Amino acid sequence: MAIHPIEFRYGTPEMKNIWESENKLQKKLDVESALAQAEAELNILPKNIADEISSKANTKYVTLERVNEIESQTKHDIAALTKGLAEQCEGEAGEYVHFGATSNDIVDSSNSLLIKDSIEVLENKLKKLTEILLKLTEEKRDLVTIGRTHGQHALPTTYGMKFGIWADEMHRQYDRLLNAKKNVCVGMMDGAVGTTAALGEDGWEIHKKTSKILGLTPATITNQVVQRDNHVEFIMVLANIATTMDKIGVEIRSLQRTEIMEVGEFFDPKKQVGSSTMPHKMNPITAERICGISRIIRSYVVAAMENNPLWHERDLTNSSCERIMFPEACILTDYILNLGIKLLSNLEFHEDNIEKNLNLTNGLIMAERLMAELTRKGMGKLTAYGIVRKCAIQAKEENELLSDLILADKDASKYLSKKDVKEIMNPHTYLGSSTIIINELLESSKNWF
């Protein structure tokens, strides 16, 4: 019976397959195989022994069912793994399975393989999402909208600026993920306290060769574990990605509110239902799901950080936590990236509402421009600010046009003509360097990936 929503509701097949129990077992067997091959290269094991171990280090022979059966007796997962592998090996090869290793050599190296595969999936999703955002940036470069600060109308901006900011941030997240990949995807084969003592004088070379065979960078120095600051970095990057996704989701949800309704997620009225009791509802469920799940991903940061200060050369408190944290953080981050791709690929724009909201305040959003133009014409900046502020407050309180009040002001009218004010009050022409900013962003994005 399924219990966790990841089992039936959240996640993509490609990421779930990475963390599926049989694949995790295979990755551990891959480490055992690499260890045997490294030992054969240094003549610690005969080549035929290493080849036999490698040939049987496969879930075709070492089944998940058998390993679980052994673990139910041994109460130790790696002991069960090594026994399951050993009993499949012919001749005396089984006697040499896991020679010189400690359990966490297998666990940490196999986790690195799983994380590496997960990061490659996430890389592709981040690239795709960034490309969608860049396309929206270009398409909506000149779609003028009201910018809001503190939830209130501020100055005109463009949807190109909104999407460009998100694209740039997503690219930074991509770079952070690559850096985390370099640090967290490391191999180790260092024994019980990191000294490689059981492997003798060739121990450090075994460590390096095993990592190389696995396609991992050998850890520089360990005790019984790869130090968890690497894993903290990885989880923090996933949390950071989730926060960017949350940011996007929050903005789209806000812009889809009934009283704003500028942008919204696609809703299929022929099939989709918004409420079990309110037939008219069309809710932003995709964006809301992104926001909700991002909270779970961020919550893993504390757990990851607490896994770093272990007792002495290590204790076991990180292990149970990571069995949950690693797969869930990867699966859920991949899932919300997938939702983001779906959401942003099918946005609906309500341009009539965008224009209506832009002009909602009877010109108050052009107050800054009025002040700046009065100053350019020769009025002192503080004086200009005071006049425009007085007129803006009156316009708001009495529901009048700011432009009419400015023209009626005896001091302001000395500097600005009716034609000047008409030009100043056009929000579509007060966009500063936004076009230049977007064009430079789009040009630089050609070298991002």
Q: Which domains does the chain have, with CATH numbers?
A: 13-96 (1.10.275.10), 103-142+155-263+280-356 (1.20.200.10), 361-438 (1.10.40.30)
The per-residue pLDDT for range 177-220, each reduced to its tens digit, is 999 999 999 999 999 999 999 999 999 999 999 999 999 999 99
Region 131-160: what's the mean pLDDT?
98
Residue 357 corresponds to which tokens in the numbers above?
């909201």
Predicted confidence at residue 281, as pLDDT, reads 76
- DSSP structure class, residue 137: H
Residues 6+ away with beta carbon under 8 Å from 109: 31, 34, 187, 188, 189, 210, 211, 214, 216
Q: Is the pLDDT of residue 237 over 90?
A: yes
Predicted confidence at residue 99, as pLDDT, reads 96
- Helices marked H in 140-261: 159-184, 203-214, 229-255
Indicate the SS3 state at residue 200: helix
Q: Does residue 153 carry a catalytic annotation?
A: no
Task: Tally the C-alpha atoms within 13 A of residue 116's C-alpha that lie toward its C-beta.
Answer: 17
Place of tokens 């309180």: 397
The per-residue pLDDT for range 89-122, each reduced to its tens digit, is 999 999 999 999 999 999 999 999 999 999 999 9
Predicted confidence at residue 2, as pLDDT, reads 87
Region 307-312: what's the mean pLDDT?
95
For residues 435 and 438, what is the distance between their CA atoms, to the nearest angstrom?
5
Whether the pTM exceeds 0.75: the reply is yes
Which residue among the candidates 72, 150, 276, 433 is catalytic per the annotation? 150
Q: Is the pLDDT of residue 353 over 90?
A: yes
> Would you say 16 and 331 are in contact if contact means Cβ atoms under 8 Å apart?
yes
Region 402-428: what's the mean pLDDT?
95
Question: C-alpha 102: how far from its chain's center?
Answer: 33
**Other Cβ atoms within 10 Å of 408 Cβ, number:** 12
Q: Does residue 275 carry a catalytic annotation?
A: yes
From 202, 193, 199, 201, select the one nearest 222 (Cα to Cα).
193
Which residue among the candidates 4, 76, 275, 417 is catalytic per the annotation? 275
Q: Is the pLDDT of residue 267 over 80?
A: no
From 187, 183, 184, select the one nearest 212 (Cα to Cα).
187
For residues 384 and 408, what is the distance between their CA atoms, to the nearest angstrom?
15
For residues 380 and 216, what is the distance between their CA atoms, to the nearest angstrom?
65
Region 324-333: what's the mean pLDDT?
98
Residue 214 corresponds to which tokens in the numbers above?
């696995």
Indicate the SS3 state at residue 264: strand
Predicted confidence at residue 268, as pLDDT, reads 78
**Three-class secondary structure assignment of 338-353:** HHHHHHHHCCEECHHH
Q: Is the pLDDT of residue 382 over 90?
A: yes
Place of tokens 């002192």: 380
Q: β-strands 152-158, 144-149: how paired?
A: antiparallel
